[in-house]
Structures are given as C-alpha cells and as structure tokens.
Chain A
C-alpha cells in the first residue's frame, strides 16, 4: 500500500494574531511553524496504515524553501520520503495548489493507493484542495473522516455526523481528508529526528496556474484579545464577584 500525505506549512500562532503592514499575511516574525493539526493526524494515520499493511508513505508540500522543516518533521515521526514543491512563499489558491499536486503525483509515478489530506488548512481554510485533486485524478473522495480501516482494495471510512457516524466503503485508489481526533499523533523520537535528516527529499519548482481567486486583504476578527482577570481566591473573592454582578446588572 502506498500513501501520499499532503501538508501545508502554517504559522503556530498565539492568542493574538497580528498582520503584516500590507494586510496580506500573518506577521510571523516571532512565530514558529507547523503543519495544520488535521494534517498531522493524516500523517500519523498514514504511518499506522503502512505499519499494518506495508508499503511506502510519502509526504508532499507546496511551500517556501523553509517548508522543508515540516517535511523533515513528518519524516521524523515515520514518513519514508518527501516531495517538496518549492514556491516563492506566496499563497496559492486551491485550484493552483491542486493542479501542482496533481502534476507532482504524475511526475513521481508512484501508484498511490491513498491520498490523505487534512480536512482543511489551519490558515486559509478553503476546504477545496483534496476535492479538486480527486476530481482531476478521477478518484473517489470522502471528507471529514475520523476512522480509516483498510480492507483489501477498499477502505472503510467513518465520518462524524450529528447523532452518529456515516460509514463509507471507498474503493482504492482514493482521496480521503481526515479530521483531528482520528488518532493521537506521536511525538518524534530523537532517533526518528536523526533518521529524518537522511531520508530522501525531492524538490522541484511547480508551475503556478493563473490565480482565479484574489485575496484583497486579511482582517482580524474583533475582540479576540481579552484577558481573564482573577478576582480573588476562596471566600475573599465573593465581595468583588458581587460588585461585578451588580455592575453588569445581573443582580
């Protein structure tokens, strides 16, 4: 079984997000980077499936040269090799991204039984790339999956819905997007980190399709940086609590 996991380098933000002056990006001067949480689970799922069934796991990203860090992170927890589509760092729209991934899959030549994606990226959140890739490759696609079991040429995929789970039997090769909670991703071990440095990584510069989506600017949602105030501890806090309740007109 061969699995390709697609991930995206995204900033690891704190409680307050600041934008660059041109409002085109998040200010990342002090931030670390990671992959989207759903994608971390996708990588973990790929590793578990390969551990059970054998085969090769590959991680792919479209991102700036620094995104190699995320590819090594994924290889540190057990992914076998990486494909880096090196971009200039700008945000690619879902169509351009999907087109580049499709081209890369074809160029790689591996017959992937499963293309795993996160349900959506942590930053742009377009929810489109996986579906577009599936469409282009003419493969079945299920999204928002919280459990995958491989059974011969078919995958049993469980999707969380209100009040229960929908279960799909998906023939391979297939495209699946997963959500956080499907598993608990492992931490990389030190030997894993060291092995990751030596695992194969192929880098190439993809062709960028003309963008059909244009980002005008980013806007921060209002009122996200409020802080909790400790009013006191134990009985001592009671008078202050009463005061506040009075102030806001509750009592």
Chain B
C-alpha cells in the first residue's frame, strides 16, 4: 500500500491545500476526500510521520466528560474515529478529589456525564480508587469520578492511517516543505508559496497548531491563539509496570486539585502539569526543526517551574515517584495551543475568503474537529454545530497579542479548575466601555463582560429594593449558586415589572445591509418575511441549510434599501460573517458594521410610556406607536431611533443613539424615570429573569444548529414565498411531528437532603419521575438549556426540549442537580410564557 505520494514537484494547481500534517491536518484531509473533494495537497515543513508539532509529544489521553456540550460532542466523535482506526486503548480514568469543593465539582461532572450521555460513570470512595490504582495514596483523597470509557490513543498512528486513506483517494503529500507565503487577491486566497514552489489553490486550510497565527498572518488573517507550555515528565522504569500487559493497565489519574495528571506509559509513569506559571510564546519565536534538541514543540524543561508538582506527585504516588531507582527519563516544556476563551478556532477566517482555520485543537478533539471543518467546507454546516468554536466569533480586540496572552495566562491554570458557569475573566477588562460606564460606576454596578463590553449585571445601589420587595425575593443559601449572583437581580426584576427599568444594551452587534439588492439579501438569510413596510421591526430566526438555528435576531427596515440587523453581542461577529457570506454575488448589496457607532438603552415596564412621553413630544401611544414598529423620535436634543420590541415581556422600547450621545440619553431617561420609580437594571434581568418568565428562547442556549424552528415552538405564521437558506428543510420539518419540543418547567421543591434549598443553573439532565434519562427519537438528551429565577411568579424556571410523551403540560419530571433529584413540572409546552401568558403587557 502506498504510504506516501511524495511528489518531486508540487502540483501547480489544486483545489485545496492543507498546511500541517499533525492529527488535525491529516483528519481534515481524510474527511475532505471522504466527502468527495479531490485535487488536494497536504504540506508540512517537517518530516513524516512526526513533523514536530504538538501531536508528536501529546500525552494522548482522553477523558470524555466536559461541561461544554460542543467540546463533549467533538470528543465523542473523535473517540468513535480513534476506535474505528483501532488506535484507542480503553483504560478508564479517575478524577480524584483532595478537597470538599472538588467533591462538589465531581457531582457536577456526574451531572454533565448524564446530560451529554457519557455512560457509565460513577463516584468512587478512596478505598475503591486504591483498588483500581494500587500505587495511589488514598489517604489524601476524599473520592473520585470514574469514567471507564477514558483511554489513550496513538495519535501519530491515527494521523498516518488517515493520511494513507487520503493518499489512496488521490491526495498529494509533501513533507519537508515550508510555506513561505500566502497570496490573497480581492479578499480571497489564491496561492500557497513554498520553498519547493508555488501552488495555486481555491481553498487553504491552516492546521498548523501553535504555528497557525504565523501562517495566517502571511495572508493578513488572524488565528488568535498563543502557544503555551505544558510541562510533562516521564519517570521509570517502574517495577510494578515491568509485566504490564498493555501500554496502560491502570486508569489514568487526574489529580484535579493540583492541576496535574499521572498515567502509566508502558514501563514508565507520565506526570503532567497545568499548575505552573503560564509560559507563553510567540508563534514566530518557536525554534526551527534543525535548531531544536528534540522537536520545535518540545522545549527545554524548566525544573524550577516543576518543584511543587514533584512534591505533589510524590505524595500522591509515593510507591512509584518516591522509588530511588525510578529516574526522570524525559522532561519537556511541551507547546500546545490555547485561545482567549479556551475553545478551538474552526471555520473560514473572517478576513480572507477561502482561508480556513482548524486550530487550537487538542488530541481529544482532533478527528472530530477535522471532520467538522471538512463538512463546513463542503456543506456549509456540520453534523456537530460548532458555533462556540467558530473562528469568526472574535472581536478585533480579542485577536490582539495583549488580550490573547492575558486570557491564556489567566485560563491556563483553570484547565482542571472548578469554573463556575458565570465566572468572569479578570484580566484585560475595560477594553470596551459603554457611554453609560461612569454613571453605572456611580451606581455601583457589578460589571460582567459581554462581547468584550463592560456591562452591569446588577447595581449595588439598588440594594434598598430588597427591603421593598421583602419575602418575594429568594435568598440563595448554598455558596455555589450565590456565587456570581445577587438577590438584587430579582429585586430589579420586580421593580421593572411593577414600575420600569432601563438597561444597557450597548453590547448588541448592529450592521446595516444596504443597496438595491438589500431586500433580496436579507430575504435570503432571514426566515421571516422581510418585505415589510419601512418602520417595521421583524424578529426572525436565521437558519442553517438543514433547518437548524444559525441565529435569532431582529431586523429593522430603515428605508426601502436599508435594513438594520441587531443581534446579541456574543455571536455578533459570527452573524456578521454569515450575512456577508450570503450577500448577492453581483455586488448589489453591501454590509456595514455599525456595532461601535450606536449605543442602545432599553427601557421597559408599565411606566415606560409615561416616562418616554414625558421627554418627547412625538406620539408614543399604543395607537401611534404599535408593537414591532420603530420610529425616529426627539428626546431632548437627541434624535433617537426607538424600537418597540421587548426581550423582557413588558411595554417599552429599545432606544438607539449615536454612541457619543449615549450619556445624555441615560441622563434624560434616569431623570424622567425618577418620579416613576424607574431604576437601572442589569443583564441579570434582561438576559435571565425577564426572559425566562416570558419563555423567550436565546441563541446558544435553546436555539442552536441541532434544533429546528418547529422543535423550538417558533413555527408560527406561514412560510414566506421567497427562498431562504434552510427553507426546504424548514418546510419538511413543518410537515413532521417534532422529535422534541421546547418546554418551560418550574421547580416544585428545592429542598436538598441536607435541608438547604438548591437552585439549578443550567446544563442539568431532566429525568423521568422514575429517574431515567430522557432521550428523544433523534438520540438527543433532555437537559436544562437555561435556568433562572422567575421573581414575578415566585418560581425557579427551567427550559428544556422534551420528546412528545413528556412534553405535556402538568407532566411531573425530575432534574438532577449536585447528586440529588428535584421534582419539576412542565408549565408550558409551546411558546406560551409562564408570566403574562396572553402577552398583554408587551402589547399594552
């Protein structure tokens, strides 16, 4: 069989050039050929099969359970492929706990395992851990989380087999070939320049691991990651392993509280660490293959950074680590790729068409990510919806070296950390501040980060509201749920519901689609009818080709040929790219990013009209200014775009002004609101409590590629006549009974076994009354997509997709949280909200 097809001369023209022959590049190559692509060349500057990147020194183990759905899905798919390639050795893995806080985290791991369907898993006592890992000092431990399916892979072998398969399908491989440049013409990649000649190409995939930023910059694109050091040593020979049957006879141990792992590797023991000081590098600084003593990504070990780790490994595994005859045979500072938010960078770069990123991927995600990128290239969508890993997500400041290094440095030591779902980054904050920032500081706002903006989550200055609303506001007794939370959020919520609240929405991403082809452009992307009169605001899903959700957003028709798209900040840049990618080819429509040009202040509540009418002479009556309309109104000296929609389910407006006039708008609204008892409210109300009481779905929680409009309960009205992306699938989905539907549930009893009331935060599995997981006909587990308080209804609200047999109002189910089960009831099984079910408030 052909093991290489090393050409003497590179082909002059190819459809696709893949740069990087590690686990990722080879996987992308294999899947592209599997999907029928041809004329592909795979390049690497290094020799094969180990070109010297991170694949060559990876510890190669896989623990499938992660709190992230997307990462778990990529890992699961990768495990499937490794098994199919026959390079997966299942040995099990145990995450051990030294602290009580970690024991609670292990309960969360159990929950995530059940939510994502990774089974079996179990909690172990120290004695049980000792039985499986007889060389561990169980006296240090309180318990462990056991995943029998964890294992070790041969990633170089997997890469080789995938490459061989691609070569059999006709792919060309060129090792020892260094890329010197990437040519771009009219925003599209056209040519790869190498030290062995140039290749013209329609598409180029950068799968260069920690070198990716350097290669991307050759085309003027950014792959925002930083190479970071992971220290690893191998000690041996270990007498106990002398008669090992396999490479790994004992479960891999992750010593979570010390940020370390220990695993058998044949006759030795590998000890790795994420505990040392973050050591980052620039992609340009990585030494060449020839200059490296081992390989470019196996840098000299810095012993001083590993001293504490040695002591910790010694106390955990004294029998082996403390053995004088066991020596440190190999020690490296291994380079791996880390990003500002810890997620991979997948997809076409927003800067250069045809230039694709398959970067910041580790061994456990490699084949799954490779398959996903190949599918995105061929079909425009992938079986696993990787919206969180979309490279287009990054805002400009998130691609700077300063930001990346700050966040990589901060995130590095959280690799095995106990990370609260609402935990905020501390480094490189205050890059983007809204025009209200100083006023918010005066009101003692607690700022969270939203799309890089500083955005109040609640205002400490609203603490007096706690007294006003008294018993209607829950206090959270358990530390975990009270972390990154305040009862003031619920008080602000009630103030809004009873009077009015105004909230900072500067983090919105805003872009205008303009030109004679603008209507066609938005019709093509938006699911709902966009051929509406000027002055209308349309809330619409944006679909993927197969009918799943790409986005949900609002579009204002500003003029015949001007449409203003407003979308959440989190995915704003991804959405911008989606619209841009689908503009008409004839240039009849353009897109203009207005995100940093406009600020938005939302104001809602029964007094909202009184407040607004007190500062404008324009007609804001229901008759004069109906729901889902926008108007330009005068507020003091400001010309304001007022849009009458609501994400909290109350009467009110989004008020848009040019960003430099925002502070004035705030002052006018605050002053006019004072006599009405209006207060500033944070995103805790806007994003969670207000939204959940109205059962409003959020992209990234309820709405994602894996679910369609019918399942989300949003298929109201007729399907519009003009074609749009996903239409065919959408029409078909309307004709079928949904496999699951979005339901709103309320928690019936919060009392845990210890008597403490507990409040779910999202991500928990929904179980039957008998305690069994619920799986729909498409194999999807039911889990809590969003969770939060409903202060007006006095209940804790959960949203989840349920298959038809459970999607029944009044059905009694359970939710698993921190190792215990709590009873829940299905409150609504369509878009009917639990608060103000007739939506009379928003239309008053």
Main secondary structure of the interface of A (DSSP, over half): loop
Count contacts on B: residues with CB < 8 A to the other chain: 38
The reply to whether A190 and B292 form a contact with Cβ atoms under 8 Å apart is no
B535 at the interface (CB under 8 A from A): no
* One of A28-36, A54-62, A119-127, A201-209 contacting the partner: A28-36
Q: A14-B291, A236-B2 are in contact. Are A189 and B323 (CB under 8 A)?
A: yes
Which of B100-108, B293-301, B614-622 sits within the interface? B293-301
Contact B326 A189, beta carbon cutoff 8 Å: yes
For B426, the chain A residues whose CB sits under 8 A away are: none
The answer to whether A187 and B327 touch across the interface, beta carbons within 8 angstroms, is yes
Contact with B327, one of A69, A189, A228 (Cβ below 8 angstroms): A189
Given A14-B287, A14-B290, 5 more A-B residue pairs with CB atoms under 8 Å apart are: A14-B291, A14-B292, A189-B327, A230-B175, A231-B6
Question: A190-B314, A194-B310 are contacts. A16–B328 as well, Cβ < 8 Å?
Answer: no
Q: Mark B127-170, 1 if CB is under 8 A from A, else 0.
A: 00000000000000000000000000000000000000000000
- Smallest Cβ distance from B276 to chain A, in angstroms? 15
25 contacts across the A-B interface (CB closer than 8 A): A14-B287, A14-B293, A15-B289, A15-B290, A16-B290, A17-B291, A18-B291, A30-B291, A33-B300, A69-B303, A69-B304, A187-B327, A189-B325, A190-B328, A191-B321, A191-B322, A194-B311, A194-B314, A197-B307, A227-B290, A228-B47, A229-B6, A230-B47, A232-B6, A233-B4
A-B contact count (CB 8 A): 89
**B235 CB contacts on chain A under 8 angstroms:** 187, 189-190
B482 contacts across to A, CB distance below 8 A: none
User: Is A188 interfacial (CB 8 A cutoff)?
Assistant: yes
Identify which of residues 209-234 in chain A touch chain B, using a CB-to-CB cut-off of 8 Å: 225, 227-233
Chain A residues within an 8 Å CB radius of B48: 230
Contacts of B287 in A (CB 8 A): 14, 30
What does the 1/0 interface line of B1-36 toward A look like (CB < 8 Å)? 011101010000000000000000000000000000
Closest to A243 in B: B8
A64 and B326 CA atoms in complex are apart in Å by 31
In angstroms, Cα B58 to Cα A122, docked, is 31
Question: What does the 1/0 interface line of B267-287 toward A look like (CB < 8 Å)?
Answer: 000000000000000000101
Given contacts A189-B324, A190-B321, contact A32 B300 (CB under 8 A): yes
Q: Counting CB contacts under 8 A, is B329 at the interface?
A: yes
> B678 in the interface, Cβ–Cβ < 8 Å?
no
CB distance from B6 to the nearest CB of A (A): 7
**Complex interface: chain A residues within 8 A of B327 (CB):** 186-189
Within 8 Å CB of B176, what residues of A?
227, 229
For the complex, give the distance between the alpha carbons of A14 and B303 in Å: 20
A187 CB contact (under 8 Å) in B290, B314, B329: B329
Tell whether, in the assembled complex, residue A12 and residue B300 are in contact, meaning their CB atoms are under 8 Å apart.
Answer: yes
Complex A-B, nearest 10 residue pairs according to Cβ-Cβ distance, in ascending order: A187-B327, A32-B300, A16-B290, A30-B287, A14-B292, A14-B293, A190-B321, A15-B290, A12-B293, A189-B324
Is B844 positioned at the interface, with any CB of A under 8 Å from its CB? no
A182→B177 CA distance, assembly (Å): 42
User: Shortest beta-carbon distance, B797 to chain A, in Å?
Assistant: 52
How far, in angstroms, from A16 to B290 measured CA to CA in the complex? 5
Chain B: CB-nearest residue to A240: B8
Q: For the complex formed, measure the closest distance between the CB of A251 and the CB atoms of chain B, giving whole angstroms.
A: 19
What residues of B have a CB within 8 angstroms of the CB of A232 in the complex?
A: 4, 6
Closest chain A residue to B313, Cβ basis: A190
State whether A227 and B47 are in contact (beta carbons under 8 Å apart), knowing that A188-B327, A190-B322, A191-B324 are contacts in the complex: yes
Return the chain A residue nearest B325 by Cβ: A189
CA–CA, A14 to B47, complex, Å? 16
Most buried by B among A18, A30, A33: A30
User: B839 — which chain A residues lie within 8 A by C-beta?
Assistant: none
Chain B: CB-nearest residue to A193:
B310
A95 close to B (CB within 8 Å): no
A174: shortest Cβ distance to chain B, in Å?
30
Which B residues lie within 8 Å of A69 (CB)? 303-304
Residue from A69, A186, A190, A231 whose CB has the most chain B CB atoms within 10 Å = A190
Taking the complex as formed, is A8 at the interface, i.e. its CB lies under 8 A from any CB of chain B? no
A171 at the interface (CB under 8 A from B): no
- Minimal beta-carbon separation of A91 from chain B (angstroms): 21
- Chain B hits for A231, CB < 8 A: 6
A17 and B290 alpha carbons, distance in the complex (Å): 8
Alpha-carbon distance A229/B292, docked complex (angstroms): 19
Q: Which residue on chain A has the smallest CB distance to residue B314?
A: A190
Q: How far is the CA of A117 from the CA of B326 in the complex (A)?
A: 27
* Alpha-carbon distance A14/B4, docked complex (angstroms): 27
Q: Tell me if A192 is interfacial: C-beta within 8 Å of chain B.
A: yes
Most buried by A among B175, B303, B313: B303
Interface residue A183 (Cβ < 8 Å from any Cβ of B): no
- B301 and A32: CB pair below 8 A? yes
Residue of chain A at shortest CB distance from B311:
A194
Report yes or no: B324 in contact with A192, Cβ–Cβ below 8 A. Answer: yes
Min CB–CB distance B799 → chain A (angstroms):
50
Q: Which of B6, B175, B314 touches A191 (beta carbons < 8 Å)?
A: B314
